[in-house]
Amino acid sequence: MSSEYAIEARGLAKSYGDVHALRGVDLYAERGSMLALLGPNGAGKTTVIRILTTLLIPDGGTATVGGHDVVRAAARVREVIGLTGQEMSVDGLLTGRENLVMMGRLFHLGKAAARQRADDLLEQFDLTEAAGRQARWYSGGMRRRLDLAVSLITAPPVIFLDEPTTGLDPRSRQGMWEVIRKLMADGTTILLTTQYLEEADILADRVALIDGGGVVAEGTPGDLKRRIGSERIEFQFATDDVAEKAQLLVGGAVLHGNGLSVPAADPAEVRHLINRVADAGFDATGLEIRRPTLDDVFLTMTGQTEGATL
């Protein structure tokens, strides 16, 4: 079975006992692009990745990776993918270099070729200095980079990254983004899962929002930002009643008690919206401007039409 997409899934369903982890997931990623699967804990992201990487058989639906069916041609799929899971897969007692060389040998590279590949990857992932140290002494960010390097030994054209930056400090996260960008520049197709809106926005060509085992919206990061705004204005009013009236003046606002959360595309629109509310005679008792969070995305998306295209 061939597909024009590097990754394509239709109607994927999976239950664990009576937990319906996936309830019909549709996804696609064009060759050489990055799709970010964005969703909170428990949304079903890892389950999608496990099915697409042949580690788990779906109860329903079909999927292809590199044109191969993930169930009927699982061995072919494994030849074209790399996977970096949420848990560390490297051996802590081996050095960074030893981990990479061992993996290269496992994939039938000759001794010299395995060493060369290890050195190239250590360099690419900024681990040359730490190459001779046991992996158990690596920082969180270094460990994730080594994990990623190990999954790239065979230079697979499609890679899956399951929350590669969760729990990393901001600097390590930036380092991870840099190496992911290099992979993208090489034309690798990437499916990345994340709980960070900012990460999906910065890296991905397309974003699929997943919640409760289903894709609730999908589109480009630009589409996403147009819907939720790249800034949010938080108004507080004296009473719920005033907040409700102010809501009628602005588009896409979310009301919570006497608070009103309003999306804005840019600083100019922030000013414009604040003025509009003030000019209409609604005095805000509190005012705050902040970046949108994943919660805002879901409030905005799922509070409106389900399954909408952004």
Ligand X SMILES: Nc1ncnc2c1ncn2[C@@H]1O[C@H](COP(=O)(O)OP(=O)(O)O)[C@@H](O)[C@H]1O
Residues engaged in binding ligand X (CB under 6 A): 16, 19, 21, 39, 41-47
Return the number of other C-beta atoms located less than 10 Å from residue 16's C-beta: 11
For residue 46, state whether it binds Mg ion (rule: CB under 5 A): yes
For residue 84, state whether it binds Mg ion (rule: CB under 5 A): no
Report which DSSP code applies to 261.
E
Closest CB to Mg ion among residues 33, 46? 46
Q: Which does 58 bind (CB under 5 to 8 A by kind): ligand X, Mg ion, none?
A: none
Cα–Cα distances (Å) from 19 to 16, 40, 252, in that order, read 5, 16, 33
Note whether 115 and 102 are within 8 A (CB).
Answer: no
Q: Which does 64 bind (CB under 5 to 8 A by kind): ligand X, Mg ion, none?
A: none
Q: Which does 97 bind (CB under 5 to 8 A by kind): ligand X, Mg ion, none?
A: none
Of 86, 97, 104, which Cα lies nearest the Cα of 127?
97
Closest CB to ligand X among residues 14, 206? 14
Q: Which does 221 bind (CB under 5 to 8 A by kind): Mg ion, ligand X, none?
A: none
Secondary structure of residue 257 in the 3-state scheme: coil
Question: Tokens 């000019």 map to which residue?
Answer: 279
Closest CB to ligand X among residues 47, 54? 47
Closest CB to ligand X among residues 179, 209? 209
Give me the amino acid identity at 35: L
Kindly indicate which of the ranges 11-19, 38-46, 179-187, 291-299 contains the residues binding Mg ion, using the contact rule CB under 5 A: 38-46
Q: Find the shortest distance in angstroms from Cβ 242 to ligand X.
A: 39
Q: Which does 39 bind (CB under 5 to 8 A by kind): ligand X, Mg ion, none?
A: ligand X
Which phi and psi angles does 211 have, rounded to 5°? Answer: -155, 135
For residue 258, state whether it binds Mg ion (rule: CB under 5 A): no
Q: Find the shortest distance in angstroms from Cβ 142 to ligand X.
A: 23
Secondary structure of residue 189 in the 3-state scheme: strand
Q: Find the shortest distance in angstroms from Cβ 39 to ligand X.
A: 5
Tokens of 189: 């197709």
Q: Which does 273 bind (CB under 5 to 8 A by kind): ligand X, Mg ion, none?
A: none
Tokens of 115: 């060493």
Compute the Cα dihedral for 14, 32, 294, 139 and give only its sign.
positive
Closest CB to Mg ion among residues 180, 273? 180
Q: Find the shortest distance in angstroms from Cβ 50 to ligand X.
A: 8
Closest CB to Mg ion among residues 45, 117? 45
Closest CB to ligand X among residues 45, 68? 45
Size of the site for Mg ion (CB under 5 A): 2
Secondary structure of residue 19 in the 3-state scheme: strand
Q: Find the shortest distance in angstroms from Cβ 212 to ligand X.
A: 9
Which phi and psi angles does 40 have, rounded to 5°? Answer: -75, 175
Which phi and psi angles does 282 have, rounded to 5°? Answer: -95, 110
CB-count exposure of residue 84 (10 Å: 0-12, 13-18, 19+): buried
Q: Find the shortest distance in angstroms from Cβ 43 to ligand X.
A: 4
Q: Which does 47 bind (CB under 5 to 8 A by kind): ligand X, Mg ion, none?
A: ligand X
Cα–Cα distances (Å) from 128 to 91, 164, 182, 307, in that order, read 17, 20, 17, 46
Residues found near Mg ion in the complex (CB under 5 A): 45-46
